[in-house]
Amino acid sequence: MESFVYTILAILARDSGSSFEIAKKMDLCWQTKHNQIYPILVELEERDLIFCTTIPQSGKPDKKVFSITEQGKEALAKWVPNVFQEPIIRDGFLAKIYAQWLLDPDTMVQLLEERMQFFQHKIGEHESEIAQLEADAGASLKDPSSPHFGRYILLMRKLQMEQDESDWCAWALAFYQKEPIIQYE
């Protein structure tokens, strides 16, 4: 199985959830949509690594809540100590930066400002999420044996990365705002 599958198992080891809830929690380690997760959940259920409980809802489709099985926990526990793998970075914006010399400076300023605003919004979201987690978990939040600890340190990592990205955008913008860009043909 690949890391994506183990990420789903790791989330379910802490809390049961719907495909939408799992996708939201995966944001800390993997960008995905709930419709990408659902086929994997079906496969995991067929392999007895998770099970599904259907919760009837009035006026809406029934909610499917997924939970990890003991067999799923065992598979996850075997995977966790595996050898480090180099992180994969896929960001189309970075390719745009690499080819920035083909664009006029105003377009690059707009792209950088939009990206900086996006990350500033994400910073606000994650700060709120951290505050809620701190309120819910209390002192156990910073205890490495707590089930909340992993989520906490991942949220702090994500927050730092978003702050770094926002700061980098501001740094790059300074070049466009202070010095004229020479374009070569």
**Domain boundaries, given as residue ranges, for the chain:** 3-79, 92-178
The string of DSSP codes covering 39-80 is HHHHHHHHTTSEEEEEE--TTSPPEEEEEE-HHHHHHHHHHT
pLDDT truncated to tens, each residue of the chain (185 aa)? 688 899 999 999 988 999 989 988 888 888 887 788 889 999 999 999 999 999 999 999 899 999 999 999 999 999 988 867 787 778 889 988 988 888 888 999 999 999 999 999 999 999 999 999 999 999 899 999 988 898 899 999 999 999 999 999 988 888 888 754 444 34
Q: Which pTM value belongs to this model?
A: 0.74
Instruction: Give the separation between CA 104 and CA 100, rounded to whole angstroms.
Output: 8
Q: Which CATH class is domain 3-79?
A: mainly alpha
Angle at the Cα of 20 from the Cα atoms of 138 and 65, rounded to 5 degrees? 80
CA separation for the pair 89, 10 (Å, rounded)? 21
